[in-house]
Chains A and B, each alone.
Chain A
Amino acid sequence: GQNIDQPTEMTATEGAIVQINCTYQTSGFNGLFWYQQHAGEAPTFLSYNVLDGLEEKGRFSSFLSRSKGYSYLLLKELQMKDSASYLCAVRDIPGTASKLTFGTGTRLQVTL
Chain B
Amino acid sequence: DTGVSQNPRHKITKRGQNVTFRCDPISEHNRLYWYRQTLGQGPEFLTYFQNEAQLEKSRLLSDRFSAERPKGSFSTLEIQRTEQGDSAMYLCASSPRSGGADTQYFGPGTRLTVL
User: In the complex, which of the residues A4, A31, A97 has the most CB atoms of chain B within 10 Å of its own CB atom?
Assistant: A97
Given the interface contacts A31-B101, A42-B106, A43-B106, does A98 sit within 8 Å of B42 by beta carbon? no
Q: Determine the chain A residues whose CB is within 8 A of the CB of B42 once the complex forms.
A: 4, 87, 89, 102-105
B62 to A: closest C-beta gap in Å: 18
Q: Determine the chain B residues whose CB is within 8 A of the CB of A48 once the complex forms.
A: 101, 103
Instruction: Choose among A42, A98, A105 the residue that contacts B102 (Cβ–Cβ < 8 A).
Output: A98
**Stretch of B14-22, B43-51, B68-76, B79-87 that contacts chain A:** B43-51
Q: Determine the chain B residues whose CB is within 8 A of the CB of A87 once the complex forms.
A: 42-43
Q: Work out how many contacts link A and B, with CB atoms closer than 8 A.
A: 59
Number of A residues near B (Cβ < 8 Å) is: 24
Instruction: Choose among A31, A33, A45, A104 the residue that contacts B41 (Cβ–Cβ < 8 A).
Output: A104
Interface hits, B7-48 → A, CB 8 Å: 31, 33, 40-45, 48
Q: Report which A residues bind B (CB closer than 8 A).
A: 4, 31, 33, 35, 41-45, 48, 50, 87, 89, 91, 96-105
